[in-house]
Amino acid sequence: MTPAIRADEDTEAEELPPDIARRARRLLGSLARPYRGGIIAFAVVVALTILASVLDPVFVALALDEGLPRAADGDVTALGWAIGGFVGVTLLGGLGMWLANRLVGVLAQKIMFDLRTRLFVHTQRLDLGYHEKSTSGRLVSRQTSDMESVQQFLGYSLMDALSALGQMTCIAVILVALDWRLALVVFAGFIPLVFTTRAAQRTQRAAFRRTRTSIAKVIVHFVETMGGIRAVQAFRRQPHGRQRLESEDEQYRDANVRALRGVAWFAGSTRLIGNVTQAAVMAVGAWFVIEDWTQIGVLAAFVLYLRRFYGPLDELVQTFNLYQSASAALEKIAAVLDTEPTVEEPDHPVALPARRSADAAGRELAFSAVRFSYGEGPDILPTFDLRIPAGQTVALVGATGAGKSTLVKLVTRFYDPSAGTVAVDGVDLRDLADAALRRSIVMVTQESFLLSGTIADNIRIGRPEATDAEVEAAGRAVGLDADVARLPAGYATDVRSRGGRLSSGQRQLVSFARAFLADPDVIVLDEATAHLDIPSERLVQSALETVLAGRTAIIIAHRLSTVEIADRVLVMEAGRIIEDGEPAALIAGTGRFAALHRAWRDSLA
């Protein structure tokens, strides 16, 4: 599973494990558990509401069969009671409905909040390997479109489904009590109903899974286009983008049409079964009344109940529809949640020893018998040992693909080594709490991503509790001050989407300011000065030297100017460290670095 075959894995990522339906149910169970009390209260209210609402035809039957004949004889009390009872249960039912809606609204939203947060936290916990394999659009679709599906079901349909089922059960009981022979006619309709539902469930689950998968592809394409809109326009990619959206969307449409037509068949056949049953009940009922085996009020109640018995079927169909869509969505979410990060926080973290002194905060880094490969793939870094003493500045040099970035990803614990240990001041990185690790070791990368918010917010990522003065001091230290002063609101300027307003050099300075604010023991720079002009780069370097004096630093840079501030140079090739020494000594030698350095010297003015 090297990243080289990612294109194939991509489709694989969409394939769900075989027991995914069970996992999704387990997820739902775990989400509901904290709200057991509320759910029970809700169930009670719904049950009472149903009871109240199914009782009303009883009062109708009472009014017609008992009240009316007696009223004809001059006694209106029975009629009064029947009508009074009817109004009473109606009001109770209304109150129950009101309460149940509020309860379900609150419960559903609490569960959605928990699910959103859980997915968000889990996504953040997942290792970089997972993120590098998965596209951002796919995770976005989990959190947006799939969440919406689940919310639709929880917020709108769960109650419908529960009350429909409850109503049908109550009505079944009442029908038996009213006239069990007529009730048998009604129940006969159940047999085809069960078969239809079974069949629909099977086909619809597959159909809705297809809609979730295809809409995710649409989202991925949409996110990619809008993220790269500059290039889209500059290279006139619009017709191509349009075609691609069309073809992705056509698949989504076809999946949707199939799912919706499946619903049509299901809805049509349940309705047909209900209506045929109704005609049968009327025929049999009328015959019974004529033969005087039952009363006319009972027949009236039966017909009324039947409407209500099969009426909720519509809602059930709708719910069934949303349920299938929601469970397909929940499966996708469960699949993300069930992915265990390969880089995990320890259960019993070890604390780092105290800093040696306030101004000598560097720490020693030690690689012992470290080997690294992606999964079972070929070794990217064959077994090696390396010790970087506290306070040393090391420059990492080598061609693209030599393994420099991989090595520093082990230092920042973006990946864990396949064998051996990476330790800081003798503590294995895997034994450090994430917070402690991140306080101690900080990396600045070539791509400086800005989050939405102000420039100050973005610098503050280095240390959220920093004061405005500290944020500005960090900005000043890296030479961002003059540029920020030109912006409309200074440090309070919004960086807008994807930081479009700052040049890439300025964004890199923001990244540096973050690192300064973070005040780490070990700083890792991965091509962090690539977009800077020479004076800015020098300013940053001199700031590095003063602000981070005594810190341990690992610097990857193509421009060998960086090397001038390094105490030690490591030259890498094909995953191995082939040269290791003081810069001056290496330059004077005849090795790879001496050659590189000469070439670089020549390229300067």
Q: How far apart are CA 289 and CA 181, in angstroms?
A: 13
Strand ranges across the sheet with 365-373: 379-388, 365-373, 419-424, 427-428
Sites for other proteins among residues 427-446 (CB under 8 A): 434-435, 437-439, 442-446
Distance (Å, whole) CA 421 – CA 203: 51
* Beta bridge mates, 365: 388, 424
Specify the stretch interacting with other proteins by CB under 8 A; choose among 19-27, 276-284, 347-355, 372-380. 276-284
Q: Would you tell me how many other CB atoms lie within 10 Å of the CB of residue 76? A: 14
Min dist CB 116 to other proteins, Å, is 5
**Shortest CB 187 distance to other proteins, Å:** 18
Q: Which of 202, 377, 497, 589 binds other proteins (CB under 8 A)?
A: 497
Pattern 307-346, binding to other proteins, x per CB under 8 A? xx--x-----------------------------------
Helices (H), 355-411: 404-411
405 binds other proteins (CB under 8 A): yes
Q: Which is nearer to other proteins, 145 or 203 (CB)?
A: 145
Q: From the CB of 474, what's the least distance to other proteins, in Å?
A: 13
Site membership for other proteins, residue 68 (CB under 8 A) = yes
583 touches other proteins by CB under 8 A: no
> Can you tell me which of 462, 475, 575, 583 binds other proteins, judged by CB under 8 A?
462
Helix/strand/coil (H, E, C) string of 120-171? Answer: HHHHHHCCHHHHHHCCHHHHHHHHHHHHHHHHHHHHHHHHHHHHHHHHHHHH
Residues in binding contact with other proteins, number by CB under 8 A:
193
Asked if 467 is part of the footprint of other proteins (rule: CB under 8 A), the reply reads no
| Shortest distance (Å) from residue 404 CB to other proteins | 10
Shortest Cβ 18–other proteins spacing (Å): 25
Kind of pairing between the strands at 393-397 and 552-556: parallel
Q: Which residue among 162, 422, 423, 532 contacts other proteins (CB under 8 A)?
A: 532
The residue (of 21 and 436) whose beta carbon lies closer to other proteins is 436
According to CB under 8 A, which one of 21, 300, 473, 585 is a site residue for other proteins? Answer: 300
Single out the residue of 25, 371, 476, 538 in contact with other proteins (rule: CB under 8 A): 538
Task: Tell me the C-alpha distance between 359 and 344, whole Å.
Answer: 31
| 25 versus 494: smaller Cβ distance to other proteins | 494
> Is the Cβ of residue 373 or residue 445 nearer to other proteins in the bound state?
445
Dihedral sign from CA coordinates of 553, 558, 559, 563: positive
Which CB atom, from 18 or from 602, has the smaller least distance to other proteins? 602
Query: Could you please report the per-residue DSSP string of 466-510?
Result: --HHHHHHHHHHTT-HHHHHHSTTGGG-B--GGGTTS-HHHHHHH
Among 167, 213, 269, 324, binds other proteins (CB under 8 A): 269
Residue 20 beta carbon to other proteins: minimum distance, rounded to whole angstroms: 22
| Spatial contact of 537 and 529, defined as CB atoms under 8 Å apart | yes
| Least distance from other proteins to the Cβ atom of residue 158, Å | 12
Asked whether position 157 contacts other proteins by CB under 8 A, the answer is no
| C-alpha span between 555 and 576 (Å, rounded) | 17
DSSP category for residue 434: H
Smallest gap from Cβ 374 to other proteins, in A, equals 12
Of 77, 169, 238, 467, which one interacts with other proteins (CB under 8 A)? 238
Where b means 16+ CB within 10 Å and e means fewer, 269-283 reads bbeebbeebbebbee
The interaxial angle of helices 504-518 and 468-477, nearest 10 deg, is 120
| 8 Å CB contact between 298 and 61 | yes
Name the CA dihedral angle for 534, 537, 542, 544, rounded to a multiple of 10 degrees: -170
One of 40, 91, 177, 191 touching other proteins (CB under 8 A): 91
509 binds other proteins (CB under 8 A): yes
Q: Does 286 bind other proteins (CB under 8 A)?
A: yes
DSSP-based three-state secondary structure for 369: strand
Using a 10 angstrom Cβ sphere, with 0-12 exposed, 13-18 middle and 19 or more buried, the burial of residue 220 is buried
Give least dist CB 19 to other proteins, A: 27
User: Whole-number minimum distance, CB 167 to other proteins, in Å?
Assistant: 12
Half-sphere exposure of 222 (CA within 13 A, CB side): 13
**Are the C-beta atoms of 318 and 270 separated by less than 8 Å?**
no
Using the contact rule CB under 8 A, the part of the chain among 164-172, 198-206, 351-359, 479-487 near other proteins is: 479-487
Q: In the structure encoding, which two tokens stand for residue 194, read together?
A: 């069960």
**Which of 129, 137, 166, 391 touches other proteins by CB under 8 A?**
137
Closest of 293, 403, 337 to residue 125, by C-alpha: 337
Task: Write each residue from 3 to 42 as x if it is in contact with other proteins (CB under 8 A), else as -, in one continuous string.
Answer: xxxxx--x--------------------------------
- Interface residue with other proteins, options 28, 50, 139, 337 (CB under 8 A): 139
β-sheet bridge partners, residue 569: 395, 581
Identity of the residue, 21 or 282, whose beta carbon is nearer to other proteins in the bound complex: 282
Site map 345..384 versus other proteins, x via CB under 8 A = ----------------------------------------
Count other Cβ atoms within 10 Å, centred on residue 499.
Answer: 20
Nearer to other proteins, 21 or 492 (CB): 492
Which window, 38-46, 351-359, 422-430, 529-537, contacts other proteins (CB under 8 A)? 529-537
Q: How far apart are CA 523 and CA 515, in angstroms?
A: 8
**Least gap, CB of 473 to other proteins (angstroms):** 18
Q: Site for other proteins (CB under 8 A): which residue of 431, 561, 567, 594?
A: 561
For other proteins, the binding residue among 15, 75, 385, 564 (CB under 8 A) is 564
